[in-house]
Structure 1
Amino acid sequence: MQQTDVGFGATLTSEGCHFCLYGPDILTLAVVLFDKEGIATARHRLQRQENNHWTVFIPGIGENTGYAFWVTTATGPSAQWLLDPHAHRVQHHPARHSGPDRVAAPEWIAYTTYHDFDWQGCERPAIALEKMVLCEVHVKGYTRANPDLPAHLRGTYSGLCHPVTLAHFRQSGITSLQLMPIAAKADETHLAAKSLTNFWGYNPIAWSAPDERFASADPVRECKTMIRTLHAHGIEVILDVVYNHTAEEGNGGPVFHFKALDSQSYLKDEHGQFKNYTGCGNTPDLSHPPMLQAILQSLRSWVLNYQVDGFRFDLAATLGRNHDHFSSESAFFTAIRNDPVLSSVKLIAEPWDIGPDGYQCGAFPAGWHECNDQFRDHWRSFWLHDAPASAVAPHLLGSQAQFPAPNWPQKYSINYICYHDGFTLQDLVSFNDRHNHANGENNRDGHPDNRSNNQGTEGLAATAAIQKRREKQKRNLMTSLLFSLGIPHLLGADLHSHSQQGNNNAYCQDNDTSWVNWALSKEAHTFRSWLQSLIQLRQTVMPAIIAAMADKTSAPATIHWLTPAGTPMDDQSWTGRQPFSCLIQADDNHALFYLFNPDDHPVRFRLPSSMHNWTCLVDTAEQQLTVRNIQQSDCLVRPASMVILIPRP
Structure 2
Amino acid sequence: MSFALREGRPFPLGATWDGSGTNFAIFSAHARKVELCLFDARGRREIARVALPEYTHEVWHGYLPEVRPGQLYGYRVHGPYEPQAGLRFNPNKLLIDPYALMLQGEVVWHDAVFGYRMGNARADLSFDRRDSAFVMPKCVVVDPAVTWGPDYPPNIPWPETIIYEAHVKGMTAQNAAIPDRVRGSFAALADPRAIEHLVTLGVTAIELMPTQAFFDDRYLIEKGLTNYWGYNTIGFFAPATRYISPGGGVHEFKLMVRRLHEAGIEVILDVVYNHTAEGNHLGPTLSFKGIDNASYYMLGDDPRYYYDTTGCGNTVNLGHQRVLQMVMDSLRYWVEACHVDGFRFDLATSLGRDRQGFNANAVFLDAVRQDPVLSRVKLIAEPWDTGHEGYQLGNFPPGWAEWNDQYRDTVRSYWKGDAGELPGLASQLLGSAGHFDRRGRRPWASVNFITAHDGFTLADTVSYNDKHNAANEEGNRDGHSDNRSWNCGEEGPTEDAEVLDLRDRMRRAMMGTLLISQGTPMLLMGDEVGRSQGGNNNAYCQDNAMNWLKLEGLEPRDAAFLDFTRRLIALRRSRPLLRHPSFLHKAAVGEEPVEVRWLRPDGEEMEPDDWHNPAARTLGLLIRNKPALLALFNSHFEEVPFSLPVRGRGWGLLLDTAAGRVPERPVPQRAAGFVVPPRTLLVLEETE
TM-score where L is the length of structure 1: 0.95
In 2, the alpha carbon distance for the partners of 1:317 and 1:611 equals 51
Q: Does residue 218 in structure 1 map to residue 248 in structure 2? A: yes
1:408 Cα deviation from its structure 2 partner: 4.2
1:551 Cα deviation from its structure 2 partner: 3.1
Per-residue deviation, residues 112-150 of structure 1 (Å, max 9, x unmatched) = 112211211111000111111100110001210122222
Change (3 A) 1:350 1:219: farther
Change (3 A) 1:72 1:134: same
Aligned to 1:629: 667
Aligned to 1:598: 635
Aligned to 1:286: 318
Find 1:152's aligned residue among 162, 176, 181. 181
1:544 Cα deviation from its structure 2 partner: 6.7
**Is the partner of 2:177 in helix, strand or coil?**
coil
1:200 Cα deviation from its structure 2 partner: 0.6
In 1, the alpha carbon distance for the partners of 2:364 and 2:162 equals 27
Per-residue deviation, residues 493-513 of structure 1 (Å, max 9, x unmatched) = 102210000100000001111
Q: Which stretch shows the higher mean deviation, 347-356 or 57-66?
A: 57-66
**Is the partner of 1:19 in helix, strand or coil?**
strand
Q: Does residue 557 in structure 1 map to residue 594 in structure 2? A: yes
Per-residue deviation, residues 153-196 of structure 1 (Å, max 9, x unmatched) = 32111221222222211110011000000011012232122221
Aligned to 1:517: 550
Asked if the contact 1:210/1:223 (under 8 Å) is kept, the reply is: yes
1:638 Cα deviation from its structure 2 partner: 0.7
Q: Match for 1:83: what amino acid?
A: I
Q: Which stretch shows the higher mean deviation, 219-228 or 408-417?
A: 408-417
Q: Match for 1:54: what amino acid?
A: W
Q: Match for 1:617: what amino acid?
A: L
Per-residue deviation, residues 414-435 of structure 1 (Å, max 9, x unmatched) = 0000000000000000011111
Aligned to 2:23: 18
Per-residue deviation, residues 355-393 of structure 1 (Å, max 9, x unmatched) = 012111000010000000000000000001314311200
Q: Which stretch shows the higher mean deviation, 485-494 or 7-16?
A: 7-16
Change (3 A) 1:531 1:631: closer
Q: Does residue 165 in structure 1 map to residue 194 in structure 2? A: yes
Q: Which stretch shows the higher mean deviation, 537-546 or 144-153?
A: 537-546
Asked if the contact 1:420/1:491 (under 8 Å) is kept, the reply is: yes
Aligned to 1:579: 618
1:104 Cα deviation from its structure 2 partner: 4.7
**Is the partner of 2:434 in helix, strand or coil?**
coil
In 2, the alpha carbon distance for the partners of 1:562 and 1:498 equals 36
Asked if the contact 1:611/1:647 (under 8 Å) is kept, the reply is: no
In 1, the alpha carbon distance for the partners of 2:216 and 2:530 equals 29
Q: Does residue 183 in structure 1 map to residue 212 in structure 2? A: yes
1:324 Cα deviation from its structure 2 partner: 4.5
Find 2:221's aligned residue among 192, 199, 203. 192
Change (3 A) 1:236 1:78: closer
1:94 Cα deviation from its structure 2 partner: 6.9
In 2, the alpha carbon distance for the partners of 1:344 and 1:198 equals 32
Q: Match for 1:15: what amino acid?
A: S
Q: Does residue 115 in structure 1 map to residue 128 in structure 2? A: no
In 1, the alpha carbon distance for the partners of 2:394 and 2:91 equals 48
1:72 Cα deviation from its structure 2 partner: 2.0
Aligned to 1:131: 160
**Is the partner of 1:271 in helix, strand or coil?**
coil
Aligned to 1:529: 563
In 2, the alpha carbon distance for the partners of 1:542 and 1:506 equals 37
Q: Does residue 484 in structure 1 map to residue 517 in structure 2? A: yes
Q: Does residue 34 in structure 1 map to residue 33 in structure 2? A: no
Change (3 A) 1:103 1:618: closer
Asked if the contact 2:381/2:401 (under 8 Å) is kept, the reply is: yes
Aligned to 2:261: 231
In 2, the alpha carbon distance for the partners of 1:80 and 1:400 equals 52
Gaps of 5+ in 1: none
Asked if the contact 1:353/1:359 (under 8 Å) is kept, the reply is: yes
Aligned to 1:426: 459
Find 1:79's aligned residue among 92, 97, 104. 92
Aligned to 1:243: 273
Q: Match for 2:201: what amino acid?
A: S
In 2, the alpha carbon distance for the partners of 1:112 and 1:27 equals 25
Q: How does 1:291-370 map to 2 (within 5 A)?
A: 291-370=323-402
In 1, the alpha carbon distance for the partners of 2:648 and 2:550 equals 45
In 2, the alpha carbon distance for the partners of 1:292 and 1:13 equals 25
In 2, the alpha carbon distance for the partners of 1:539 and 1:269 equals 50
Q: Which stretch shows the higher mean deviation, 133-142 or 258-267?
A: 258-267
Change (3 A) 1:621 1:103: closer
Q: Does residue 376 in structure 1 map to residue 411 in structure 2? A: no
Asked if the contact 2:454/2:537 (under 8 Å) is kept, the reply is: yes
Per-residue deviation, residues 437-459 of structure 1 (Å, max 9, x unmatched) = 11111111111111000001001
In 2, the alpha carbon distance for the partners of 1:93 and 1:645 equals 55
Aligned to 1:407: 440
Provide the identity percentage. Answer: 39
In 1, the alpha carbon distance for the partners of 2:231 and 2:215 equals 9
Asked if the contact 1:210/1:219 (under 8 Å) is kept, the reply is: no
Aligned to 1:613: 650
In 1, the alpha carbon distance for the partners of 2:200 and 2:131 equals 58
Aligned to 1:59: 65
Q: Match for 2:361: what amino acid?
A: E
TM-score where L is the length of structure 2: 0.90
Q: Match for 1:541: what amino acid?
A: R
Aligned to 2:234: 205
1:42 Cα deviation from its structure 2 partner: 2.1
Q: Match for 2:313: what amino acid?
A: G
Gaps of 5+ in 2: 1-7, 82-88, 113-128
In 1, the alpha carbon distance for the partners of 2:298 and 2:9 equals 33
Q: Match for 2:365: what amino acid?
A: F
Q: Does residue 442 in structure 1 map to residue 475 in structure 2? A: yes
1:91 Cα deviation from its structure 2 partner: 1.9
**Is the partner of 1:86 in helix, strand or coil?**
coil
Aligned to 2:418: 386
**Is the partner of 1:401 in helix, strand or coil?**
helix
Aligned to 2:493: 460
